[in-house]
Structure 1
Amino acid sequence: MDGGDRFEGHRGHLRAVAYRMLGSLDEADDVVQEAWLRYRRSDPAEIENLRGWLVTVTSRICLDQLRARSTRREDSLEDEPGRLPDPVITAAGTDPEHEAVLADAVGLALQVVISELAPPERVAFVLHDLFAVPFADIGDLLGRSPSATKQLAHRARRRVSGAVPNFADQTPSRPPGRSAREVVDAFFAAARSGDLDRLVSVLDPDVVVRTDGGLANAALTNVTRGARAVAMRARSFASPRAVLHPVLVNGDPGVIVTMAGVPVSVLGFTVRDGQVVVLHALADPERLGRLDLEQFL
């Protein structure tokens, strides 16, 4: 097996690592390409654990990008209030690279919290909690002791646990149960019927809706909290002209919404105990245009 084949066997995993770190599929692809170039310049005979070496290289490139965002705020993803990470959308017959990302997928609710962590905490949490990299190896990457790295991950985990419902119950590559999809279907049925009480019944009392309309639709970018407030808003945008296309969004049930055949939003739901606890809505036309949504319609 030549070097290219050896690298390709790890590409999907590296893309998943980079996506968790950066929250951007395009940036993840760029990072993996840079990792490939560094691999080509290396001596394979000196690499004992190829996957470990590639993950370290990929993580170091991501860390450099995260630090650059902090010093060049105008280029940062976080500069746009309410910006959501890129959703990973999948369906039957999805291409192998997206399947590889989904294999290590976490829900979009968790990805949002990850994107809000400081770079060292983000690296420590992603590598240890999501990809089981030892603290000693992460410490070498961050220039910190294993105990200090463990504390970084602990702080990140505490923040995640406080923001993501039932975080401990999340399992990578979990298929959404039928009940979760049924809850989503019930949400739209109630919204379209205008039945406020029925709509509230499928929402957690503390449900959170985050909408990212992008710069072109900045007025759509906001956060709505509480079952009744969310229900009132849901009734207002449940247009009978909208067509719903069921998909998976970061492994959880979601839909692509089209109007006259044009995608206008991607909705991802987090469902726990038969109720919607988090709903993310990406309605940025520019970003929707880069997601190749037509394959799911």
Structure 2
Amino acid sequence: MTTDIETDVFEEHRPVLLGVAYRMLGRVADAEDVVQEAWLRWSGADRSEVREPRGYLVRITTRLAIDRLRQVKARGETYVGPWLPEPYVTDFADTVPDAADRAVLADSVSLAVLVVLESLSPLERAVFVLREAFGYPFADIAAMLDRSEPAVRQLGGRARKHVEERRPRYDVDPAQRRDLTERFLAAAGEGDIEGLMALLAPDVRLVGDSGGKAKAPVRVLQTADKVGRFIAGVAKNGGGVPDLSFRFLEVNGGPAVLVLSGDKPDSVLQLEVLDGRIQSVYIIRNPDKLRSLTVA
């Protein structure tokens, strides 16, 4: 039987466990399932074998997430159109006082990085997440994964090299991203193509994720001309979204816009910025990925 003290211990570490599971899986519902399974393991654990609860819980959560990733890869699931992670509401600005720590956490959970992590093996992804996002020593990660420390160092080095080579460069200043997002929305709403072009980098990319369940580009759009004209066209007449409204929130470590149709989430828009210009536009419209976004 689980005592109130043991329940409190688990709840104290739940945010970390959810953070690990989400970075591993890129899906909020799957991450919550993994954390719930970790709770079941914790509630039935032999306490005499648990020396350090946080390490024990992170180890269980990581292993469960690896198992789930392997199941997904084994099924060979296909996805209609470009894939983006499920948007994950964060509040680093309120919960992490140190700016450097906030930047590290924001980077580790950004849409751009999570897309790259999808191409890693489950073990590489686990090592990268535990090392880069949570700062665990390689010796501790080796114990969690039942691997030798040299093997874990090799996995970590390979994963880091892969991510550094493939992730796009961007600035993480939230104030700048918020300002450009507001100007982007204003220009789009006014049908100001010239204004949009002034905000977009020449090689800007637009990635729309609908999973085939909503209207969105089935391919990545590239160049300022194509992206600008697409956005202007969609924004015309509110993009066909009835009772349209917007709400700013922090998603995946950065400012984003929740597009609402009445009180129902319609999509999430987030921009990546480099040198004062918009480098990437992410639009998530798959309704399955918007279920965790509640409107207060």
Q: Give the TM-score normalised by the residue count of structure 1.
A: 0.83
Residue type of the partner of 2:253?
Answer: G
Cα distance 1:208–1:157, how it changes in 2: closer, same or farther (>3 A)?
Answer: farther
Partner of 2:97: none
Question: Matches of residues 207-218 of structure 1 in structure 2 within 5 Å?
Answer: 207-217=204-214
Q: Counterparts in 2 of 1:76-155, with a 5 A limit?
A: 79-89=79-89, 104-105=105-106, 106-155=109-158
Comparing 59-68 with 207-216, greater Cα deviation is found at 207-216
**Deviation, structure 1 residue 147:** 2.5
Query: Equivalent residue for 1:162?
Result: 165
* Aligned length, in residue pairs: 279
Moved more, 137-146 or 262-271: 137-146
Within the candidate set 199, 206, 215, 1:202 is matched to 199
Q: Which region of structure 1 is more displaced relative to structure 2, 53-62 or 135-144?
A: 135-144
- 1:36 corresponds to 2:33: no
Q: Distance in 2 between matches of 1:45 and 1:260?
A: 53
In structure 2, do the counterparts of structure 1 residues 50 and 259 end up closer, same or farther at CA, with 3 Å as the change threshold?
closer
SS in 2 for 1:269: strand
Distance 2:215 2:157 in 1: 35
Aligned counterparts of 1:261 and 1:249: Cα–Cα separation in 2: 19
Q: 1:186-235: CA deviations, max 9, x gaps? A: 11222233333321221223222211112323764431122222112111
1:252 aligned residue: 254
Question: Which residue identity is paired with 2:280?
Answer: V
For residues 58 and 214 of structure 1, the distance between their equivalents in structure 2, rounded to whole angstroms, comes to 27
Q: What letter corresponds to residue 73 of structure 2 in structure 1?
A: S
RMSD: 2.8
How far is the alpha carbon of 1:142 from its aligned partner?
4.1
Q: Give the 3-state SS of the residue equivalent to 1:238 in structure 2.
A: helix
Distance 2:273 2:6 in 1: 43
Q: Is the 8 A contact 2:181 2:271 kept in 1?
A: yes
Query: Aligned-pair distance for 1:13?
Result: 0.8
Q: 1:235 aligns with which of 232, 239, 245?
A: 232
Question: Are 1:264 and 2:266 counterparts?
Answer: yes
- SS in structure 1 of the partner of residue 41 of structure 2: helix
Closer, same or farther in 2 for the Cα pair 1:82/1:145, shift >3 Å?
same
Amino acid at match of 2:10: F
SS in 1 for 2:295: helix
> Which residue number in structure 2 is paired with residue 98 of structure 1?
none
2:63 and 2:202 mapped to 1: Cα distance? 41
Q: What amino acid sits opposite 1:133 in the alignment?
A: Y
**Separation in 1, partners of 2:136, 2:153:** 11
Instruction: Quote the offset at 1:262 in angstroms.
Output: 4.1
Cα pair distance change 1:18/1:91, threshold 3 Å: closer
CA contact under 8 A between 1:208 and 1:225: conserved in structure 2? yes
Q: Which amino acid counterpart does residue 133 of structure 2 have in structure 1?
A: L
**Secondary structure class of the residue paired with 1:89:** coil
SS of 1:210's equivalent in the other structure is strand
8 A Cα contact 2:208 2:216, kept in partner? no
Residue number among 267, 272, 275 corresponding to 1:273 in the alignment = 275
Match of 1:58 among 61, 73, 85: 61
- Aligned partner letter, 2:184: F
Fraction of identical pairs, as percent: 38
SS at match of 1:117: coil
TM-score in terms of structure 2 length: 0.83
Change (3 A) 1:21 1:247: same
Contact 2:82–2:207 (CA under 8 A) maintained in structure 1: yes
1:20 aligns with 2:23: yes
The amino acid across from 1:275 in the alignment is R
Give the partner amino acid of 1:158.
K
Q: Structure 2: where are the runs of 5+ without partners? A: 95-102, 239-243
Q: Indicate whether 1:182 and 2:188 are aligned.
A: no
Bigger CA drift: 236-245 or 28-37?
236-245
Structure 1 Cα separation of the partners of residues 35 and 122 of structure 2:
19
Q: 1:80 to 1:125 in 2, by over 3 A?
A: farther
Give the letter aligned to residue 238 of structure 1: A
Q: 1:103–1:124: structure 2 CA closer, same or farther, 3 Å change rule?
A: closer
2:83–2:211 Cα contact (<8 Å) kept? yes
Is 1:225 the counterpart of 2:222 in the alignment?
Answer: yes
Which residue number in structure 2 is paired with residue 97 of structure 1? none
Whether the 8 Å contact between 1:90 and 1:248 is mirrored in structure 2 is yes
